[in-house]
Amino acid sequence: MLNRLKKILKWLLWSVIAIIILFGIYRREYLSQAIPVYMQYLEQRSKWERVNTGTYVLRYSDTCLLSAYYFIRNNRVVYLLRDGNSFNTKYLIKGEWIKQYIRGGFCSGFRDVNDILIEKRFDEVLSVLWLKLWDKTIFEQKGLHYPVEIGYDKRYGYPRGIVIKGGGYEGCIRTDDGKPYLKFYNSIQLLSQKENIFSDENIQFTLDKLGEKHDKEKHNIHFKQVNMVGGEEMKSFLIQETGY
Q: What is the pLDDT of residues 8-56, one digit of tens each?
A: 667 777 777 666 555 555 566 777 888 899 999 999 999 999 999 999 9
pLDDT at 234 over 70: yes
Given a cut of 80, whether residue 104 has pLDDT beyond it is no
Mean pLDDT of the chain: 83
More confident residue, 215 or 164: 164
Q: Is the pLDDT of residue 70 over 90?
A: yes
Higher-scoring residue by pLDDT: 147, 26: 147
pLDDT-derived band at 219 (thresholds 50, 70, 90) equals low
What one-character-per-residue DSSP string does the chain give? -HHHHHHHHHHHHHHHHHHHHHHHTT-HHHHHHHHHHHHHHHHHHHHHHHH--S-EEEEEEESSSPPEEEEEETTEEEEEEEBTB-S-GGG-B-THHHHHHHHHSGGG---SGGGGSHHHHHHHHHHHHHHHTTTTSTT--GGG-S-EEEEEETTT--EEEEEESSS-EETTEE--S---EEEEEEEEEEE-S-TTTTSTTTHHHHHHHHHHHHHHHTTT-EEEEEEEEE-SSEEEEEEEEEE-
The domain segmentation of the chain, as residue ranges, is 2-243
Percentage above 70 pLDDT, the chain: 84
